[in-house]
């Protein structure tokens, strides 16, 4: 079966809504009209009942019958004056009934003679108590809207004497159907007018929809939108669409996550809270092959922009964002693995040489010296990283990490030292952040020491500990010093592991920082190698994300005398919740 078009469905739905609205309107109109007619009938009944109850003849006759013993039979009452007065009033006013009763509620006048001398079907107690009552009842003659008025004795004033009977008058209530039938003319005219207006509005809406949707049906638009969402939300690249009017039209979830921003759709691109470098990519003079590298939060991003053109019409710009953070992390991990691999290869050769030495001593029969040599190897261990003071780091992860950095530093002619102020009791809980932040600072320090114009220098700069490692590097060479300290946090009440803060100070023998005020700016670097200038900013972002900090303690510089050794830069790091303590490791904190 062929499905109706959306415009046709809209037209039919509009007609149905109009018909329903007219039906409800007619129903409400009928209810209101019936209520009004019923209230008018109640007032007419009350007026007629008052008139009959105030007639002297009615008062005298009712008082006479009430005073007599018993009630006259129906044949007598049917020929009596009360029946004549009641029937005359009923026929004159087209009332449904006019009933007169005595003080006990027995009928003295009734449209049906068979009902005379019988108790009334409704409760007359309020009227017998001297109250005028309007009622809506269903009696022996059908539903009615009426009134009951007390009849007072003839020798008293109305409202101040004895009640000897009741006059009850009722008018038939008009059914709702009759009310609607009586008002069918205006209702039909209103319905036809509303229906015509609804059909006309539906036709106009149908034309406008076809114009706005380029003749496409909503089902086709739905498929198009679903395809667009599927493409935008499943890609690992951030996508931002900017129209020719300068409005952001598309921002996928990846772009929001990479930039750490809410949905910018509909906002002005010129006022959007994005890095200024992104806006530069969409300027008229910008080239489409421009590639921008920037830091957003704790991420390193690559950004490009392309012109969107369809059938020769300029639709605006599309900005693409790629997360380079994982690549940078993998590169750093690969460098660490490569360094460790080189260290293991070197140690393999060293271990082989040591075995050859032992083998030679045994071949010569010098078992005593062979045993002494073996004992010395067992005491020192087969793996010796070229890092002075590495034994001060009992934590395996930090020891391996600093040891690998020491191998890389030695390859570049730099001595890496672990300072005597180092005191580590816990274990690393956040290895990624620790290696990223500390690795960036150590790499920068090694680069600074290599590129420094002086050799040696006062180790540690301001704030560095004085000691045996003291005044200069070994032989006056280039050096980098790292001091590490962990600080246990409060003991948790829920039994979870106790966390703590890692403090680190990194100093070098380089020439110091020339522009310390620009040190943490995005893209600032003293290196001329492309792609630099992001590591320190990334380290700062990671530390701040954990509630910590990276700061410059001493910018370094030349010594007090011309040509003096001076000192290099000194950085301090604080990484909360980066360490974890067991009950044993946290003792003495």
d(C-alpha 482, C-alpha 573), whole Å: 11
Per DSSP, 539 falls in state H
Per-domain residue ranges for the chain? 6-173, 235-326, 327-378, 383-454+477-581
The three-point CA angle 118-122-128 to 5° equals 85
CA distance linking residue 346 with residue 382, whole number of Å: 11
- C-alpha 40/C-alpha 439 separation (Å) is 95
3-state SS record for 204-239: HHHHHHHHHCCCCCHHHHHHHHHHHHHHHHHCCCEE
Are the C-beta atoms of 435 and 490 separated by less than 8 Å?
no
Q: Does domain 235-326 have CATH number 3.30.450.20?
A: yes
- Residue-level pLDDT, tens digit, the chain, 589 residues: 567 777 677 777 877 887 788 778 777 777 787 778 778 888 888 899 899 988 888 888 888 888 887 788 888 888 889 889 989 998 888 888 899 998 888 888 988 888 888 888 888 888 888 888 888 877 667 778 888 999 988 877 655 678 889 999 988 876 545 655 665 677 677 767 777 777 777 778 777 777 666 666 777 777 777 777 777 776 778 888 888 888 888 888 888 877 878 888 888 888 888 887 778 888 766 666 677 777 776 677 778 888 877 666 677 888 888 877 666 666 666 765 665 566 566 566 666 777 878 888 888 888 888 888 777 766 555 456 788 998 898 888 888 888 888 888 888 899 999 999 999 999 998 888 888 889 889 998 998 898 887 655 544 443 333 333 333 343 458 899 999 999 998 888 877 889 999 999 999 988 888 888 877 775 555 554 444 456 787 788 888 888 999 999 988 875 543 444 457 889 999 999 999 997 655 554 4
How far is C-alpha 149 from the chain's CA centre? 68
Cβ density class 460-481: b for 16+ within 10 Å, e for less: bbeebeeeebeebbeeeebbbb
* Total Cβ atoms within 10 A of residue 506: 25
d(CA 166, CA 108): 10
Q: Do domains 6-173 and 383-454+477-581 have the same CATH topology?
A: no
Specify the pLDDT at position 436.
84
The yes or no reply on domain 6-173 and CATH 3.40.50.1360 is: no
User: CA 549, 471, 408: angle at the middle one, nearest 5?
Assistant: 60
Q: Are 554 and 441 in contact (CB under 8 A)?
A: no
> How far is it, in rounded angstroms, from Cα 518 to Cα 431?
28
CB atoms within 10 A of CB 34: 18
- 441 CB burial (10 A radius; 0-12, 13-18, 19+): buried
Provide the terminal-to-terminal Cα distance of the chain, rounded to the nearest Å. Answer: 80
Q: What's the rounded Cα separation, in Å, for the pair 574 and 548?
A: 5
Identify the CATH number of the domain defined by range 383-454+477-581: 3.30.565.10
Residue spans of alpha helices (H) in 364-418: 367-380, 396-411
Query: Which residues does 180 contact at the CB level (< 8 Å), separation at least 6?
Result: 26, 27, 29, 30, 187
């Amino acid at each position: 079966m062929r499905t109706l078009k959306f415009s046709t469905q809209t037209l039919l739905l509009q007609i149905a809504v109009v018909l329903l609205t007219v039906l409800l309107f007619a129903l409400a109109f009928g209810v209101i009209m019936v209520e009004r007619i019923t209230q008018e009938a109640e007032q007419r009944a009350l007026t007629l009942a008052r008139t009959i109850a105030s007639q002297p003849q009615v008062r005298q006759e009712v008082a006479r019958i009430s005073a007599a013993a018993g009630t006259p039979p129906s044949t007598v009452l049917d020929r009596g004056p009360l029946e004549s007065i009641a029937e005359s009033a009923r026929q004159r006013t087209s009332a449904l009934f006019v009933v007169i009763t005595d003080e006990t509620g027995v009928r003295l006048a009734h449209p049906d003679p068979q009902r005379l001398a019988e108790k009334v079907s409704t409760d007359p107690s309020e009227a017998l108590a001297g109250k005028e009552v309007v009622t809506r009842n269903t009696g022996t003659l059908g539903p009615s809207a009426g009134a009951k008025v007390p009849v007072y004795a003839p020798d008293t004033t109305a409202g101040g004497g004895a009640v000897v009977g009741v006059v009850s008058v009722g008018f038939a209530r008009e059914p709702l159907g009759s009310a609607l039938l009586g008002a069918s003319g205006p209702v039909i005219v209103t319905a036809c007018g509303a229906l015509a207006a609804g059909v006309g509005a539906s036709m106009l809406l149908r034309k406008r929809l076809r114009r706005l949707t380029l003749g496409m049906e909503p089902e086709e638009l739905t498929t198009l939108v679903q395809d667009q969402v599927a493409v935008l939300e499943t890609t690992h690249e951030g996508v931002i669409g900017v129209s020719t009017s300068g409005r952001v039209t598309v921002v996928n979830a990846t772009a929001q996550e990479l930039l750490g921003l809410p949905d910018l759709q509909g906002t002005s691109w010129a006022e959007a809270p994005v890095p200024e470098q992104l806006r530069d990519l969409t300027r008229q003079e910008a080239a489409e092959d421009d590639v921008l590298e920037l830091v957003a939060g704790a991420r390193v991003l690559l950004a490009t922009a392309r012109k969107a053109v369809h059938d020769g019409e300029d639709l605006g710009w599309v900005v693409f964002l790629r997360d380079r953070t994982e690549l940078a992390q993998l590169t750093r991990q690969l460098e660490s693995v490569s360094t460790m691999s080189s260290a293991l290869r070197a140690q393999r050769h060293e271990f082989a040489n040591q075995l050859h030495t032992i083998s030679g001593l045994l071949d010569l029969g010098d078992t005593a010296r062979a045993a002494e040599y073996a004992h010395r190897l067992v005491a020192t261990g087969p793996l010796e990283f070229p890092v002075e003071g590495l034994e001060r780091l009992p934590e395996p992860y930090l020891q391996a990490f600093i040891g690998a950095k020491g191998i890389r530093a030695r390859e570049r002619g730099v001595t890496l030292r672990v300072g005597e102020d180092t005191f580590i009791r816990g274990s690393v809980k956040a290895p990624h952040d620790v290696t990223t932040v500390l690795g960036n600072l150590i790499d920068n320090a090694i680069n600074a020491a290599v590129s420094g114009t002086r050799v040696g220098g006062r180790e540690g700069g301001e704030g560095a500990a004085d000691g045996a490692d003291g005044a200069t590097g070994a032989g006056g060479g280039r050096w980098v010093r790292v001091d590490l300290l962990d600080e246990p946090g409060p003991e948790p009440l829920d039994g979870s592991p106790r966390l703590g803060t890692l403090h680190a100070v990194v100093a070098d023998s380089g020439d110091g920082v020339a522009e310390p005020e620009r040190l943490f700016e995005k893209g600032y670097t003293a290196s001329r190698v492309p792609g630099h200038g992001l590591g320190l900013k990334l380290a700062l972002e990671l530390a701040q994300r954990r509630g910590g900090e990276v700061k410059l303690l001493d910018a370094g510089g030349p010594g007090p005398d011309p040509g003096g050794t001076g000192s290099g830069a000194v950085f301090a790091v604080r990484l909360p919740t980066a360490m974890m303590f067991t009950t044993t490791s946290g003792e003495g904190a």
